[in-house]
Amino acid sequence: MSITLQIKQAVQLAVQQVYQTEIALTDILINETKPEFEGDYTLVTFAFSKKLGLRPDEIAHKLGENLLEKADLIQGFNVVKGFLNLILREDVYFKYLHQIRKQTNFGMFAANGQKVMIEYSSPNTNKPLHFGHLRNIFLGSALSNLLKNNGYEVVKANLINDRGIHICKSMIAWQKFANGANPENTGIKGDHLVGDYYVRFNDEYKIQIQSLKDAGMSQEEAEKKAPIMLEAQEMLRKWESGDPETLSLWKTMNDWVYSGFYHTYQRMGISFDAMYYESNTYLLGKEIVEKGLTNGHLFKKEDGSVWVDLKEEGLDEKLLLRGDGTSVYITQDIGTAVLKYNEHHMQRSVYVIGDEQNYHMQVLKLILQKLNEPRADGIFHLSYGMVELPSGKMKSREGTVVDADDMVDEMIATARKNTEELGKVDDFNAEELQTLYHTLGLGALKFYLLRVDPKKRMIFNPQESIDFHGFTGPFVQFTHARISSIFRKANPDWKNESTTDEHSLNEDEKGLIRMLDEYPLVLQQAGEEYNLALLCNYLHHLAKSFNGFLTQHSVLKAESAATRLFRLQLSEVCKHVIQHGLSLLGVDAPERM
């Protein structure tokens, strides 16, 4: 049982004994005592004042006296206004450390019977994964790890956007300009090759627009009548009508992209349990829309287009099918949502999608609710802010996007440069060095993108993200490696030594144990709020505190055998928590750095 819970239960009993009043555990607020006051934990009594009709300081004194007399874990107390500062007996800390040392699954929660699907990545097959995808991918993957750790059955899903006008743009450009180029005869990774032709389409499109404007057309008319755009629109119609030649080219180019995606995912340690393709779901979406029209949930306009009326919900009318019968993006999203639920029957479906799609996701949920689709209420949009580089915003159609592969390469190269400058890896062989550089580079990238609250926009600074002394993944990884180094130097039989409480705890040791006590609560809160930044902050704080502890106190050269053993045990649990927390973020914890 956590120290905090022990205190809450003791306080709950004290309130009942002193005031004959029941207080829920959730109404008892316990914080770590501020450094300027004497104490370990502080009970805030202001919340009790209204219920008991007494002054907070009076309540604090009465409860303090009761706890000192009757609670085994309390050694002393003092009151500052309505704050009851509690001083714990040393054996409470020892018992708790011994308790969590025995738990090989410390930080893990029991299964709760709830199933959740997390959809993330969701790339288009007209271009490679780019840097803008990475926050999405790492959020989805880390949240999947966290919720699984917290007792949920998790399905990691990826929806591939493999149809639509943007796909046809790459296909048309390839037909017109590629001269048979493919990944094999060019040596270019498949997703990069297709992305090059998406950029080429837009370059040609701009040229044609300008030519038509020079001939007297308006900007709007030129954009509609540019020949290459008309060809792309015609290709889309052929695709939807099942034209064999168009479908063959579509499949070939998509296969190039899928191969490229797989390589990138594998390199980043990303995996999925279920794959969905819009080419397989848009027809189901159309069927559901037609059914909704029949049932009177939707309506048709004179041009044959189908709409949903959301004015009662404070929105507007939303197009679901064009007059020519072709679907729009939200149509296929409706089909995918229904298909996902029919296959997995999850209680919650989490969509990791950027905040520019807030309106779209709001509309999707409302439409499914209007259509009485099961579990529509379980849809949750994990909306996150966009990521920019110091150079500014990226635009894929203009070719200014940084590819995910290039960013990973840059991070690995930076990790190599910084590590070599420190000059502490002379005993690593070549293979071990490559593994270390990859571990540090990818760890820096993931941690930096996860350390900011998802709702906030952020700027990613590659050099800052890999600083071995800052609020970074490599700093936390270094702390893990530093603890591992202690154990390599220790007598390997130390775990067989008899546990003793003869050591007298100092404040730094108590602080570390209090911090370890917070870990399950941090995981619970991060899971409930879908906020990995809470875990990143905790791990950095723990790593910083442990390094501070080591600057003041020796582990292997401790004053006594009892102190040495205790500090090895404390270091062991800190190492476990750091490794476990990093693994939830998808970050490896190296044994050596």
Task: Please give the pLDDT value at position 495.
Answer: 80
Q: What is the mean pLDDT of residues 421-442?
A: 90
What are the structure tokens assigned to 188, written together? 């270019």
Q: What is the mean pLDDT of residues 252-262?
A: 97
Task: Please give the pLDDT value at position 398.
Answer: 46
pLDDT band at residue 501 under the 50/70/90 scheme:
low
For 487-546, the DSSP string reads HHHS-GGGGGSPP---SPPPHHHHHHHHHHHHHHHHHHHHHHHT-THHHHHHHHHHHHHH
| Lowest pLDDT segment from 18-27, 95-104, 422-431, 465-474 | 422-431
pLDDT band at residue 438 under the 50/70/90 scheme:
very high
CA distance 171 to 209: 20
For residue 34, the 8-state DSSP code is P
Which residue reads 């003041």 in tokens? Answer: 552
Q: How many C-alpha atoms does 446 have within 13 Å on its Cβ side?
A: 33
Helix (H, G, I), strand (E, B) or coil at 586: coil
Dihedrals φ, ψ of 307, to 5°?
Answer: -135, 160
For residue 33, the 8-state DSSP code is P
Q: Is the pLDDT of residue 142 over 80?
A: yes
Please identify, in words, the CATH class of the domain defined by 3-88: alpha beta
What are the structure tokens assigned to 442, written together? 């990818």
For the chain, report the end-to-end CA distance as a whole number of angstroms. Answer: 35
Q: Is the pLDDT of residue 349 over 90?
A: yes
Residue 592, CA distances (Å) to 295, 468, 536, 541 in order = 64, 14, 21, 21
Residue 110, CA distances (Å) to 18, 101, 509 in order = 36, 18, 29
Is the alpha carbon torsion for 554, 558, 559, 564 positive or negative? Answer: positive
pLDDT (tens digit per residue) in 145-181: 999 999 999 999 999 999 889 999 999 999 999 999 9
Q: What is the mean pLDDT of residues 420-430?
A: 84
Strands of 74-80's sheet, edge to edge? 29-32, 41-44, 83-88, 74-80
Task: Please give the pLDDT value at position 397.
Answer: 44
Domain-wise residue ranges, the chain: 3-88, 116-285+344-375, 404-584
Q: How many C-alpha atoms does 243 have within 13 Å on its Cβ side?
A: 11
Q: Which residues pair with 117 in a beta bridge?
A: 155, 349
pLDDT (tens digit per residue) in 262-320: 999 999 999 999 999 999 888 899 999 999 999 899 999 999 999 999 999 999 999 99
Q: Is the pLDDT of residue 553 over 50?
A: yes
Dihedrals φ, ψ of 524, to 5°?
Answer: -65, -45
Q: Burial of 267 by CB count in 10 Å (0-12 exposed, 13-18 middle, 19+ buried)?
A: middle
Helix, strand, coil tally for the chain in percent (to 5): 60, 10, 30
For residue 46, the 8-state DSSP code is H
Q: Does domain 116-285+344-375 have CATH number 3.40.50.620?
A: yes
- CATH code reported for the domain at 404-584: 1.10.730.10
Task: Please give the pLDDT value at position 324.
Answer: 82
Helix (H, G, I), strand (E, B) or coil at 309: strand
Q: Is the pLDDT of residue 483 over 60?
A: yes
pLDDT band at residue 229 under the 50/70/90 scheme:
very high
| Comparison of pLDDT for 324 and 382, the residue scoring more | 382
Q: Burial of 217 by CB count in 10 Å (0-12 exposed, 13-18 middle, 19+ buried)?
A: middle
Task: Please give the pLDDT value at position 499.
Answer: 64
For the chain, the average pLDDT equals 93
Q: Is the pLDDT of residue 238 over 80?
A: yes
Q: Is the pLDDT of residue 399 over 50?
A: no
pLDDT band at residue 380 under the 50/70/90 scheme:
very high
pLDDT (tens digit per residue) in 446-456: 999 999 999 99
| Lowest pLDDT segment from 6-10, 111-115, 140-144, 373-377 | 373-377
pTM for the model: 0.92
